[in-house]
Structure 1
Amino acid sequence: MFLFIEMYANLTSSRELNFIERVTLLNITKILKKVLYERLRELSFVYQDSSSNPWVFVRSRNGYSQEMIEIDRSDWESCTIRCTFQTGSNSISSTKLAEGSIHEWYVYQSKEELHQVLNYFGELVEKYALQWFAEHAVVLSPAPPNYLGTEWIDFMHDFIETNHIKLEDPSSVVILDELIKQEIDQNETYSISFCFGEIIIKRFGAEWEYNKEQGPVLKNIAGNPEFKRSPHELVKKVLESQNQLSLQRYYSDIEFVVEDF
């Protein structure tokens, strides 16, 4: 139906070459939104506003990981485009899902063919992707409470005092690891998460941010807006690892990353 990437080298007609030369002037975002915006919105996929590559449509459902349709253009070949579906840690290309093919990229030689390819992506979403998303739905764990709130202050203070934790001293991470090895309740788990986060803040610099889907999260670690960590998720991983992981290891990992800034 469409040309795949390995056929691209054979596109030599003057019409094709002229289109390739003009493609940088083509407002792909405008065409993509015209073809797919309403079609995918009816399926509850919301376009993430962007004028750059890649283009993403996201569907959010309570209790489940976000479902994403990502359309991107090749950085290596002109006039090539592909579509990928992903949710949680699962992803699959449109060609693999619909055709069982390893070819991912589609070649378009004109504005009309770009319309055709994008319409084809819409068909693949309706015929195959919706079922794939249903089969690979990722159920999210309930978000922890906002243990940054004022109602937690007294509990956190008592926890810190009782266990002799010094938030300005990174060696207190050792104490947190020892506590994890004991039988602790859920509130103590959140207290350990809070303490670990505060140690990171005082050592490297960071800010707390509360997200109703993720709970308290550390952002802007060491001044890098892209560097974020969820302390309670790290504590959870340590608890589930049966002594294979530790907060000391995660602290060292953060320290290693910060040194490269």
Structure 2
Amino acid sequence: MNITKYIEEILVDRFAQFGFKYEKSDFNWTFIREIGGVKEYIEIEKSEWYKNAIRCEYRKGTSSRNTIAFLRDRIEQVHVYSDETTLREELESIVEVTEKFAMDWFETIKVGVKSSPDNFLGSEWNITIQSFISENNIDLNNPQSILTLDNLLKKEISREDIYSVSYCFGEITRHHLGGEWDVHSEDGPFIKNIAGSKEMTLKPYNLVMKTMVAPNELSLMYFFEIFKNAANEMN
């Protein structure tokens, strides 16, 4: 089933009414708007735990909220569908939650203007990152080392370690799936051309921060599997 077709048909114009612009990628669907220098996100992605399900999350700064949190009659943290009709119903439900609850939720979250992350690809970070890799026995050629990174994110870690985790996660993904590093003025270092796709990019620092906000729901391994599955579908 072509989920993208229905998301673009049902959500794009509706979310545009609230100022959200659609960003299409190979593994998720993101809507972004910027108010007062602060970005707000509506992110939809396939569930790794349910065969036919999507999850929708609202994010602003370090705060996030799942659509299901606004629906008291739901148990699963995802939108489950079985066919075109039920997928449309779930997408309409996401629109309804967004209009009735999420817009007010965004208003309640107050954050300062986010500064861009440091360029941890710079030579001044080499010693710090290499020490981190050695101390934590990280193997950049082995995706299983992502589990070590996830365990570290469940603890209180320093700013330097956050950047080191971001670098290691990016390098492991790049080694396993292909791609090349680049630097974005707002999002910092990122990997582009993953699996040869110009539309598949990974922003490791952003995913690290998302995981730190919701460590019981998200993990770097979860995101890695999403990218790996998307890459496999391209082959």
User: Shorter-chain TM-score: which interval?
Assistant: 0.5 to 0.7
* 1:257 corresponds to: 230
Q: Distance in 2 between matches of 1:149 and 1:256?
A: 31
160, 168, 180: which one aligns with 2:153? 180
How is 1:87-126 mapped onto 2 (pairs within 5 angstroms)?
none
2:6 is matched with none
Q: Where in structure 2 are the equivalents of 1:53-68 lying within 5 Å?
A: 63-65=37-39
SS at match of 2:181: strand
Q: Write the distance in 1 (CA, Å) between the matches of 2:152 and 2:204.
A: 15
| Residue 213 (structure 2) aligns with | 240
TM-score by length of 2: 0.53
Show the counterpart of 2:184.
Answer: 211
Matched, 1:165 2:138: yes
Distance apart, 1:65 and its partner CA: 4.8
Q: CA offset at residue 202 of structure 1?
A: 0.4
Q: 1:216 is paired with a residue of what secondary structure? A: strand
* Offset, 1:139: 6.6
TM superposition shift of 1:61: 9.3
1:64 Cα shift? 4.5
Counterpart of 1:175 in structure 2: which amino acid?
A: T
Which structure has the higher relative contact order (CA within 8 Å, separation 6+)? 2
How far apart in 2 are the matches of 1:139 and 1:258? 36
- C-alpha deviations, 1:166-189, integer Å up to 9, x for none? 000111001101111121011101
Secondary structure at the counterpart of residue 218 of structure 1: strand
Q: Is the 8 A contact 1:65 1:139 kept in 2?
A: no
Q: In the TM superposition, what are the counterparts of 1:22-171 in structure 2 within 5 Å?
A: 63-65=37-39, 140-171=113-144
SS at match of 2:191: strand
Map of 1:8 onto structure 2: none
Q: Deviations over 1:68-103 (max 9, x none)?
A: xxxxxxxxxxxxxxxxxxxx99xxxxxxxxxxxxxx
The CA distance in 2 between the partners of 1:139 and 1:226, in whole Å, is 30
Which of the residues 152, 167, 181 maps onto 1:194? Answer: 167
Question: % of aligned pairs identical?
Answer: 36
Contact 2:166-2:208 at 8 Å conserved across structures: yes
Q: SS at the partner of 1:260? A: helix
Q: Please give the alpha-carbon distance, in whole angstroms, between the structure 1 residues aligned to 2:206 and 2:169.
A: 11
- Distance change >3 Å, CA 254–CA 227, structure 1 → 2: same
Which has the greater radius of gyration? Answer: 1
| Alpha-carbon distance in 1 for matches of 2:175, 2:152 | 21
Amino acid at match of 1:217: F
| Partner Cα separation in structure 2 for residue 140 and residue 225 of structure 1 | 29
Aligned CA RMSD, in angstroms, stands at 2.7
Tell whether the 8 Å contact from 1:176 to 1:192 is kept in structure 2 after alignment: yes
Cα shift at 1:62? 8.6
Report the CA distance between 1:245 and its aligned residue: 0.8
Cα distance in structure 2, aligned partners of 1:156 and 1:165: 11
Distance 1:61 1:211, change over 3 A: farther
In 1, the alpha carbon distance for the partners of 2:113 and 2:140 equals: 31
Tell me if structure 1 keeps the 8 A contact 2:211–2:219.
yes
Please identify, of 208-217 and 189-198, the stretch whose mean Cα deviation from structure 2 is larger: 208-217
Paired residues, number: 137
Q: For the Cα contact (< 8 Å) 2:181–2:192, is it kept in 1?
A: yes
